[in-house]
Every structure is written in C-alpha cells, then in structure tokens.
C-alpha cells in the first residue's frame, strides 16, 4: 500500500515574524487521521503551542490558518478554511470558519496549514507564492479600509489571481471584535482574530500557487461528485438558497417568533417583509456569486437603486448581518441597514458583535440607564440610523463612547458599571441573531459552544422540523426534535457538535453537510477515503469529531472554564417571550446541561472531561497536561 497522502498538500508553513524566518514542516499521516484538517488541525496545534500563560496580543500567541483535504479539488462546496488563535475578545478559544477562494489557493501554493508566530517590528504584509515567502512593507496600506487595501495590494503585485486575507482599521485600533476578511466580502469575523493579526503588525496575507491537488481514487471521486450534484440540483431548498442565501431566514424566524428584535425583547416584528431576503431578491440583487468550486452559489451581489444611498453595492448580506442591523436595533429601513453593514465590513468588524454592542446601548438608553452626555450626544433611540452610522465610526476608531463599546459588550458593561444582565454574550462572545427561548437546542448549543455564543458549533437545525418521529428515531426521544422541547437536547447537541467538528475539519460547507442533509455521515467517510486514501472506518471518522470537541473543551478548561460558565444571559432563563408563536417560553438550561454532560461523559459538576474519555480518544497528553495545571480530573463516571 502506498503511504502517500492524497488530497492534502502535505506541508505546513511556519512563519516566525520576530526572527524573520520561514520553514516548512511535513504534514504527518497521524495528524491527518486524528484530526482530518482545518478546525481539527488548528485546535490541536493551539493546545500544544499556545500554553495557558500567553496573552492573546503577545508575540507568543499564534495565528493559525488551515484547510482540509477537499479544498482545491472539484468537490462541490468543499473549500472552506479555519482561522484559529487565542481570542483577544474572550481570552479563550478564538476560531472562525470562512469560505471564498483562499483555501484552494493555499493548497495550490503547497500548504495545508500556515502558522504565524512572533511579531514584526513594522507593518508588513506576507506574500506567499508557491514555496516562496516575502515580507513586504505595508506602511502605505496601513489604515486603509478592507476594499481599498484589497485594491492597493492587487495593483502593487500586478496580479488579479492572488487571494488576500486582510484586516481593516478597526483591527489596527484593537477593536476587540475585528475579523479577518478574505477578498473583501468573506470575513472570518468571530472571536476577534483580526486583532491578533494587527498585534503581529500584519495588514494582509497574500497567497498564490501554481500547484495541484490529486485525489486517491479519481474514478470513484467523479462518481461521488455526480451523486452530490444530483442531490443538490434536485433538492427542494436549491432555489430558495440560491436566490436568497441565508437572508431567507429572516421571514422564517419571524413566522416562528425567534427574531432578536429590539435586543431580544420581541420575537416578531410587523415589518419583517420590509427587511427580508425576499425583498432583497426582488428589489436589490443583481447577480449571484459563489465560493470556490461551489454549485450552490448562494451569495448575492446587490445594488441600492434609490434614496440617499443609491449606488451603494456589495455582496450579501447574510441573515446574521441583515437581522443584526435591522430588527435587533429596531430599524425597518433596508437601505440604511445595507449601508451600515457595508460600513462595518469595510472597517473590518464582526457584524454580530457590533449589532450586540449597539442594541445593548440602545436598550440601556431606552431604560434611561444611559444618557446623551454619556453617548457623546448621540440619540440612541431604536432605529435611529444617523446615530448608528456615527457610532459605527466611533467604535472602529475608538472615539468617545465608541471606545467603550470597542472592547465588547461584557467589558463595556463592566466599565460603565451598568447593563451587566443585559449584556448578551456567552463566555465573552456576543450572541447571534436567534432567540434561544424559541429554539432550545440552539440555546444549549450557545451555552456549551467552545468559542462562545454561536450556533455554528452545533447547528441542531433538525429541531426546526418539529417532527417527533425524527427525534424518536435518532435520539430515542420525541422531544429532541421539537424546537420547544427540552428532553433529548443534550444528545441532540452533542451529536451535532461532533458532526460540525468533522465538517469544519473537512472544510465542507454546512449547507450540504448540515441543513440540506446531502453529505451524510456515510458519504463523508467515503469522501475522505476516496480523496485521501487513508482508509478510515466510519467509527474512526466519528471519533475525530468527538476528539476535536474534547480537546477544544480541554483548551478552555485549562483557561479556567467550568460548568458555571456554560450559561445563558438571564433574560433567556427568566423572562418569557412576550408574543408570537414562541410566547411564554423561557429556556430550561440546567436540565438540558445535565443531559449534555452525561452524553459527553464529562464531569456533570465541573464540566471537565474525564480521564477515561480523554484516554479513549487518544488524548493522553492532554489529560496529563490538565493535571499538571492542577486541574482535578474524574476517572470516569457511572450514571444511574
């Protein structure tokens, strides 16, 4: 049997900015088998190479970018990548997943993973062309917005084929929720990774390659792709997704009553159509755009055709941005929402966290807890977009009241000594645009997610089916797949967390792997073998997901996270939703958490993985390391 690894580029690029040195390391077969790629590769490296004492903005923190074995092949919807670091926003695990064309180009340049460590003494951008790495002066582009910097770099290098990862002015100003943007419109925005890049004095990472990716079994690969193509093209969600992308969720969320309207005070609004994906499709969108090798190109290029923002254009928005700058801040005007999203992106910030800090301030303002003197004269009533535009600039450039919000909602609340209960975050990461009271599995997912309040770590979409038969079949509990049910949610979330970890490591899009249920677990296992030649069994693949979840948990446990941190903001636990189809609901978190830890075989009192579980997953070094840090691990647990 050939020992060659197909699919993978086979090399890791390590860049030490302090020493100005670059070297290549081979990708080991063992690493590929145990972690598959992307998210798995990154968290394994972060755990080993970024120990507890390291500050997120210190030169010792590392910025790690990795993709999987599929990127760069003709497999549809399979060219994403993960960026990982210690998060300057949460102080815990920083991790964000993004599409676009960067991952494939990285493979063609010859790398599965890029590890950046140290700090450059002056602003630079890194230019990787095949196996050559050049540090180029970035003093001329430092301070530029995302779109301008993108243009400037393309012109300077005289090459339109390059792929660029870049940061905006907000990251340079250390706004804690700044992301890394891939070619203008594709941000890895969550957990503040742009700030890590800025702290290392890197404005951009440019990659270009002339190499190729070879699959282990070309004929079988072709057949598998044909099967996937057929399932995608014949899927009932094909056209809605292609026409609207995720912006279609807004009207659906309004129908089910889990919108984050007015900072999660209302689950429904009466102007949902005015700010919906449906309206965007009819009045704004001009063409579709796709990530690399995608056959369900769901991104939309829009143009504002009238009003004071006429001529504004861009890609998107996805649901998170759309709901964040409309209903969450009480704004019913789509034009100004698009303009605001455009501004936030171009300045380089995470639109989800930005929408939380703004809507949080608006709720305090409404309650009389914030006055105009404190907001530098801004009238922060719901939906006042003139004030929002000003505030966005003030956050990005850390001016006045914006400087306080720029540290994120929890730090802002602590600094102002108010609104702590209204700061909607988990573990320091601001909450996404769905009310967990109307989606209990998602709620549990937010609470236990390894990076903070985020749905993409588990995405238990199946509970939206509201079909008890599915729950009975999959989890032996009909309530598991009822969105307002609580029993069986621990099993539901644990299962989908494992699956998402596999998907994020294969770097396949969750559209086909999750929501459309096209890339099933069996197909994914087959895909891995056809592409890599690793010959992994289905149970071995499944263990990869569990291993990644456990090492991520170990990473945040080492940083001090315990069960008490797996919590949701009080509003969701105590205040029932006021009206709509989810009226009267709160989230019964504790009961679901008990079941979750039990399913995970973690200590239910501390939320720490047991020795037995870590050993079973081959994480002996992790168990030992945790104990070295004085963390007591239970041997194993017996449940009644």
Partner 1 sequence: MVKKLIVDPSKCVGCRYCEMWCSFVHEGVFSSSFSRITIVKDDRIGLDYPIVCEFCEPAPCVKACPTGALIKGNHGIIIVNEEKCISCGNCVKACPYGAIKLHPIKLKPLICDLCEGREPVCVSKCPTNAIRIYPIEEIDLSINEEVFDQAYAHALKRHKELMKRWGIHVK
Binding positions for partner 1, rule: CB under 8 A: 72-74, 76, 101, 104-105, 108, 147, 150-151, 154, 160-161, 183-185, 209-215, 218, 222, 286-297, 299, 301, 313, 315
Q: What tokens were used for 271?
A: 């102007």
CB of 215 to partner 1, least distance (A): 7
User: In angstroms, how far is the first alpha carbon of the chain from the final one?
Assistant: 47
CB of 137 to partner 1, least distance (A): 22
CB of 565 to partner 1, least distance (A): 38
Q: Based on CB atoms, which residue is closest to partner 1, 221 or 602?
A: 221
Task: Tell me the chain's radius of gyration from C-alpha atoms.
Answer: 23
CB of 291 to partner 1, least distance (A): 7
Q: Based on CB atoms, which residue is closest to partner 1, 105 or 333?
A: 105
What is the spatial distance between Cα 112 and Cα 151, in angstroms, rounded to a whole number?
26
Q: Based on CB atoms, which residue is closest to partner 1, 103 or 611?
A: 103
The DSSP string of 109-166 is: HT-SEEEEES--SS-EEEEEETTEEEEEE-TTTTT--HHHHHHHHHHHHT-SS-EEEE
What is the sign of the dihedral through the CA atoms of 454, 288, 99 and 342? Answer: negative
Q: Based on CB atoms, which residue is closest to partner 1, 294 or 544?
A: 294
Q: What tokens were used for 200?
A: 């290392």
CB of 103 to partner 1, least distance (A): 12
CB of 72 to partner 1, least distance (A): 6
**586 in Cβ contact with 575 (< 8 Å):** yes
CB of 221 to partner 1, least distance (A): 9
Phi and psi, residue 617, nearest 5°: -95, 5
574 Cβ neighbours under 8 A, 6+ residues apart = 586
Tokens 């535009």, residue located? 389
What is the spatial distance between Cα 436 and Cα 164, in angstroms, rounded to a whole number?
36
Q: What tokens were used for 476?
A: 């032996």
Helices (H), 311-379: 319-324, 334-347, 351-366
DSSP conformation class of 275? G
CB of 8 to partner 1, least distance (A): 13
Q: Based on CB atoms, which residue is closest to partner 1, 135 or 238?
A: 238
**How many CB atoms neighbour CB 466 within 10 A?**
14
**408 in Cβ contact with 425 (< 8 Å):** yes
What is the spatial distance between Cα 439 and Cα 605, in angstroms, rounded to a whole number?
25
CB of 37 to partner 1, least distance (A): 16
Q: Based on CB atoms, which residue is closest to partner 1, 209 or 428?
A: 209
Q: Based on CB atoms, which residue is closest to partner 1, 212 or 273?
A: 212
103 Cβ neighbours under 8 A, 6+ residues apart = 67, 71, 72, 79, 80, 81, 292, 507
CB of 237 to partner 1, least distance (A): 15
Q: Based on CB atoms, which residue is closest to partner 1, 134 or 159?
A: 159
Q: Based on CB atoms, which residue is closest to partner 1, 298 or 334?
A: 298
CB of 252 to partner 1, least distance (A): 24
Q: Based on CB atoms, which residue is closest to partner 1, 222 or 283?
A: 222
Q: Based on CB atoms, which residue is closest to partner 1, 145 or 359?
A: 145
290 Cβ neighbours under 8 A, 6+ residues apart = 296, 297, 298, 299
Q: Based on CB atoms, which residue is closest to partner 1, 126 or 216?
A: 216
Q: What tokens were used for 21?
A: 């040195």
CB of 603 to partner 1, least distance (A): 46
Phi and psi, residue 349, nearest 5°: -105, 165
Cα–Cα separations (whole angstroms), residue 267 to 327, 459, 569, 628: 10, 20, 16, 47
**554 in Cβ contact with 609 (< 8 Å):** yes
Q: Between helices 440-448 and 489-506, what is the axis angle to 10°?
A: 60
CB of 227 to partner 1, least distance (A): 14
Q: Based on CB atoms, which residue is closest to partner 1, 75 or 475?
A: 75
CB of 118 to partner 1, least distance (A): 30
**How many CB atoms neighbour CB 587 within 10 A?**
26
Within 50-112, strands assigned E span 63-66, 81-86, 93-98
Q: How many residues does the chain have?
A: 640
Q: Based on CB atoms, which residue is closest to partner 1, 10 or 72?
A: 72
**303 in Cβ contact with 283 (< 8 Å):** no
């Amino acid at each position: 049997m050939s020992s060659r690894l197909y699919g993978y580029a086979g090399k890791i690029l390590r860049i030490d900015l302090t020493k100005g040195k670059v070297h290549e390391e081979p990708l080991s077969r063992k690493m590929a088998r145990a972690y598959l790629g992307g998210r798995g590769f990154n968290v394994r490296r972060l755990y080993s190479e970024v120990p507890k004492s390291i500050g997120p903005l210190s030169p010792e923190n590392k910025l790690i970018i990795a993709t999987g074995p599929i990127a760069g092949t003709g497999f549809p919807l399979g060219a994403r990548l993960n960026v990982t670091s210690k998060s300057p926003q949460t102080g815990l695990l920083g991790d964000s997943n993004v599409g676009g064309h960067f991952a494939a180009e990285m493979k063609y340049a010859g790398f599965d993973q890029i590890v950046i460590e140290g700090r450059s003494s002056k602003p630079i951008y890194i230019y990787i062309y095949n196996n050559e790495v050049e540090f180029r002066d970035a003093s001329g582009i430092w301070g530029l917005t995302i779109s301008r910097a993108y243009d400037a770099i393309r012109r300077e290098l005289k090459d339109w084929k390059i792929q660029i990862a870049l940061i905006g002015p907000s990251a340079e100003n250390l706004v804690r929720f700044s992301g890394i943007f891939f070619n203008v419109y594709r941000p890895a925005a969550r957990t503040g990774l742009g700030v890590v890049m800025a702290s290392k004095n890197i404005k951009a990472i440019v990659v270009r390659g002339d190499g190729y990716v070879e699959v282990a079994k070309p004929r079988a690969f072709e057949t598998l792709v044909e099967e996937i193509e057929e399932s995608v093209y014949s899927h009932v969600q094909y056209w809605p997704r292609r026409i609207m992308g995720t912006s279609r969720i807004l009207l659906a969320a309004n129908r089910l009553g889990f919108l984050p309207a007015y900072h999660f005070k209302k689950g429904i609004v009466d102007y949902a159509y005015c700010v919906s994906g449906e309206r965007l499709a009819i009045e704004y969108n001009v063409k579709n755009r796709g990530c690399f090798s995608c056959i369900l190109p769901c991104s939309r290029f829009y143009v504002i055709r009238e009003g004071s923002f006429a001529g504004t254009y861009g890609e998107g928005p996805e649901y998170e941005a759309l709901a964040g700058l409309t209903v969450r801040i009480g704004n019913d005007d789509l034009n100004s929402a698009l303009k605001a999203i455009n501004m936030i992106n171009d300045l380089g910030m995470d639109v989800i966290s930005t929408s939380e800090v703004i809507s949080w301030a608006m709720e305090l303002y409404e309650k009389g807890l914030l006055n105009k003197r404190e907001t530098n004269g801004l009238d922060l009533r719901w939906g006042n977009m003139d004030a929002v535009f000003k505030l966005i600039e003030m956050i990005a450039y850390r001016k006045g009241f914006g400087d306080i919000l720029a540290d994120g909602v929890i730090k802002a609340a602590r600094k102002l000594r108010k609104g702590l209960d209204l700061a909607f975050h988990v573990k320091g990461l601001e909450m996404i645009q769905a009310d967990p009271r109307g989606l209990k599995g998602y709620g549990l997912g937010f609470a236990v997610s390894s990076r903070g309040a985020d749905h993409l770590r588990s995405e238990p979409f199946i509970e939206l089916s509201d079909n008890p038969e599915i729950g009975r079949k999959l989890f032996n509990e009909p309530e598991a797949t009822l969105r307002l049910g609580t029993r069986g949610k621990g099993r539901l979330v644990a299962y989908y967390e494992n699956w998402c970890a596999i998907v994020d490591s294969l770097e396949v899009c969750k559209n086909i792997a999750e929501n459309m249920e096209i890339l099933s677990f069996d197909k994914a296992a087959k895909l891995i073998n056809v592409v890599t030649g690793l010959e992994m069994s289905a149970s071995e693949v499944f263990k990869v997901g569990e291993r990644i979840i456990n090492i991520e948990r170990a990473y945040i446990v080492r940083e001090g996270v315990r069960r008490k941190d797996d919590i949701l903001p009080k509003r969701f636990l105590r205040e029932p939703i006021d009206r709509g189809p989810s009226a009267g609901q709160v989230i019964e978190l504790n009961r679901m958490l008990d079941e979750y830890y039990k399913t995970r075989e973690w200590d239910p009192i501390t939320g720490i993985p047991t020795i037995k579980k870590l050993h079973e997953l081959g994480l002996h070094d992790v168990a030992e390391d945790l104990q070295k840090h004085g963390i007591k691990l239970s041997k194993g647990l017996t449940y009644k």
